[in-house]
């Protein structure tokens, strides 16, 4: 069995764990909203029509913040359509996904759902087909206490108290030619800056996210961020990143190493932000909002231009297997390793659409394999992130060259230390040794692992429990050394607590 080593030392702190790293995303796309979180008449639905079984799983998942309502959807969205009596709301053709949007769920319903789920909304404004005035109006509708047109309209609509939404996205992926209202970096940068100023005139306390590149393969990547930030640096708090990963042509080894790409992506955006800050002679540091990330088998999607117009169609409902879950675990580790600059992250999406939660209309619900790494990281990654700098055997990949078999990070929260680790080997276990001299007196509480002999195994609504984490025996601390065995192709959580 090959061996890997790491060291735990509170002096090697990266930063504090921001709970908003464990965010999610609800877009009016496919069945994420309709028959996902919302299904009147479902046996578990509450009086507002929200599915209770889904709410229970959202709470179990540990989601902290949820981005809404898009995504590509937002660039053609009139937020006013989703307010007021439902019987008066218009039915629209959504241009992004060629779907029929009934507007049964809008800003007030979503804010109500968020309160019940125990999450904070992250609201996106439409800067594709709309502009400064409409963005400021939405902030007034959501956040102003009363005594103005839009805030009084909210009260009239049954929401006496403001929603107090603190985190806002200035549009979505406007660098992308597919985006309704696609713009150049100059066009978007000027519009985003003016929208940001107007929105803060309504509510000075809000935080704002500028659109970064849709992905790091865009031909304008880097130049887009630099131009946009030259316009918006003084007016925004974050710049966004989006990335999706999939296995290409059976190359599992490269797929398992795709967190290398995320790591480089984050580093490049941080460098660009700091370059612009230096150029403008600002002490302020722009933080990162990685507000779309996941495994997505995008090559299976035919493209929006080939879709038929219908309400709540089944779109990109990927069924995730064990290897996908291990990759999601490695992406979570990467986000934690950049906790000094990445403050917000949203796994896309929450229900049905490339999601950890699958539902059937009128029927059951299940936790996909990717549910478990997210839920465990959200539950146990608390306090301070520690830089562990592992020493690991390496393996060759076609896309990323030599890559470590071990991906790992640790967090410390008072008397508790938690190690998160992925073994990328598809064939053999990996021995792990951790030096605990700087955190003496700890013992193993439990070693949780997600691993299966068949790494293509999935969960379904019909068979929801085929893949689950299990408790492993064998991890122990002798002196100030932790030893554990990480199964082949596995996500692992090793919890330590100071002895009484």
| pLDDT, mean of each 10-residue run, the chain (500 residues) | 96 97 98 98 97 98 98 98 97 96 98 98 98 98 98 98 98 97 98 98 98 98 98 98 97 98 98 98 98 96 84 96 98 98 98 98 98 98 96 97 98 97 98 96 97 97 97 96 98 95
- Per the listing, tokens 């796309």 go with 29
C-beta of residue 461 within 8 angstroms of C-beta of residue 486: no
Active site residue 292: yes
Tell me the sheet residues that pair with 50.
Answer: 38
Helices (H), 8-131: 52-61, 107-117
What local confidence, expressed as pLDDT, does residue 187 receive? Answer: 98
**Is this model's pTM higher than 0.75 or not?**
yes
SS3 336: helix
Using CA of residue 188, residue 164, residue 347, residue 287, what is the dihedral sign?
positive
The pLDDT score that the predictor gives to residue 306 is: 80
Q: Specify the pairing of strand 384-386 against strand 13-16.
A: antiparallel
225 as an active site residue: the answer is: no
Write the DSSP symbol of residue 84.
S
Q: How is residue 240 written in tokens?
A: 């966004």
The Cα 260–Cα 182 span in angstroms is: 29
Asked if residues 467 and 371 have their Cβ atoms less than 8 Å apart, the reply is no
10 Å Cβ neighbour count for 182?
15
CA 77 and chain centroid, separation: 22
Q: How many residues belong to the chain?
A: 500
Distances (CA, A) of 491 to 5, 94, 171, 407, 432: 17, 38, 34, 10, 13
Query: Residue 273: beta bridge partners?
Result: none
What Rg, from alpha-carbon coordinates, does the chain have? 23
pLDDT at 208: 99
Q: What is the DSSP string of 2-19?
A: EEEEEE--TTSEEEE--G
Active-site pick, 80, 225, 247, 292: 292
* Nearest partner of 209 among 187, 225, 186, judged by Cα: 225
The 3-state DSSP class for residue 360 equals: coil
Residue 239 bridge partners (DSSP): 210, 288
**Distance separating alpha carbons of residues 468 and 193, to the nearest angstrom:** 46
Question: What three-state secondary structure class fits 365?
Answer: strand
Q: Could you give the CA distance from residue 371 to residue 62 in angstroms, rounded to a whole number? A: 10
Q: Which two tokens stand for residue 454?
A: 């068949």
Determine whether 67 is exposed, middle or buried from the number of CB atoms within 10 Å of its CB (0-12, 13-18, 19+): buried
What is the C-alpha separation between 407 and 470, in angstroms, rounded?
20
pLDDT of residue 500: 81
CB 498 within 8 Å of CB 458: no
Side-chain-side CA neighbours of 199 within 13 Å: the count stands at: 33
Whole-angstrom Cα distance, residue 35 to residue 360? Answer: 7
Report yes or no: 188 and 175 within 8 Å, Cβ to Cβ.
yes
- Cα 489 from Cα 323, distance rounded (Å): 7
Measured distance CA(33)–CA(54) in Å, rounded:
11
Active-site residue identified among 173, 194, 247, 485: 173
Looking at the DSSP bridge assignments, the partners of residue 111 are none
Instruction: In whole angstroms, give the CA distance from residue 58 to residue 70.
Output: 19
Q: What integer pLDDT is reported at residue 302 of this predicted model? A: 83
Q: List the alpha helices (DSSP H) in 338-381.
A: 371-380
Residues 420 and 461: beta-carbon distance below 8 Å: no
Reading the block at residue 321, the tokens are: 């297997």
Which two tokens mark 478? 């002798």
The SS3 assignment for 495 reads strand
Q: Which position has the token pair 């406007």?
A: 174
């Amino acid at each position: 069995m090959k061996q890997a080593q790491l060291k735990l030392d509170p002096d090697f702190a990266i930063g504090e764990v921001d709970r908003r790293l464990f965010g999610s995303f609800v877009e009016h796309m496919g069945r994420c909203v309709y028959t996902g979180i919302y299904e009147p008449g479902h046996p578990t639905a509450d009086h507002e029509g929200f599915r209770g079984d889904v709410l229970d799983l959202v709470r179990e998942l540990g989601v902290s913040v949820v981005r809404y309502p898009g995504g590509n959807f937002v660039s053609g969205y009139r937020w006013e359509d989703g307010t007021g009596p439902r019987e008066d709301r218009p039915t629209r053709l959504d241009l992004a996904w060629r779907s029929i949007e009934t507007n049964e769920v809008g800003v007030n319903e979503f804010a109500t759902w968020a309160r019940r789920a125990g999450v904070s909304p992250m609201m996106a404004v439409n800067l594709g087909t709309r502009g400064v005035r409409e963005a400021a109006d939405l902030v007034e509708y959501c956040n102003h206490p009363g005594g103005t047109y839009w805030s009084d309209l909210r009260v009239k609509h049954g929401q006496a108290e403001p929603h107090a939404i603190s985190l806002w996205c200035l549009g979505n992926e406007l660098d992308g030619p597919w985006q309704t209202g696609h713009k150049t970096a100059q066009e978007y940068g000027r519009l985003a800056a003016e929208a940001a100023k107007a929105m803060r005139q309504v509510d000075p306390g809000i935080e704002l996210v500028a659109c970064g590149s849709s992905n790091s393969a865009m031909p304008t990547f880097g130049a887009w961020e630099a131009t946009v930030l030259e316009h918006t640096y003084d007016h925004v708090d974050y710049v966004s990143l989006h990335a999706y990963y999939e296995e290409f042509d059976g190359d599992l080894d490269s797929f398992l190493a795709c967190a290398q790409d995320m790591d480089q992506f984050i580093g490049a955006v941080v460098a660009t932000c700091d370059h612009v800050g230096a150029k403008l002679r600002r002490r302020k540091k722009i933080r990162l909002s990685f507000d779309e990330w996941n495994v997505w088998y995008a090559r299976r999607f035919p493209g929006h231009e080939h879709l038929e117009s219908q309400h709540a169609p089944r779109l990109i409902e990927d069924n995730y297997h064990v290897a996908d879950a291990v990759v999601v675990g490695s992406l979570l580790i990467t986000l934690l390793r950049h906790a000094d600059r990445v403050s917000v992250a949203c796994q896309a999406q929450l229900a049905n659409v490339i999601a950890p939660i699958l539902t059937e209309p009128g029927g059951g619900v299940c936790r996909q394999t990717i549910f478990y790494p997210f839920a465990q990281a959200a539950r146990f990654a608390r306090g301070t992130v520690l830089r562990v700098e592992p020493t690991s055997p390496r393996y060759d990949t076609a896309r990323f060259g030599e890559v470590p078999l071990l991906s790992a990070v640790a967090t410390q929260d008072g008397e508790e230390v938690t190690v998160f680790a992925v073994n990328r080997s598809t064939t053999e276990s990996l021995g792990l040794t951790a030096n605990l001299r700087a955190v003496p007196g700890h013992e193993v509480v439990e070693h949780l692992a997600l691993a299966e002999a068949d790494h293509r195994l999935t969960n379904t609504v019909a068979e929801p429990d085929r893949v689950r984490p299990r408790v492993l025996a064998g991890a122990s601390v002798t002196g100030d050394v932790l030893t554990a065995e990480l199964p082949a192709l596995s996500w692992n959580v090793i919890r330590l607590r100071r002895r009484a």
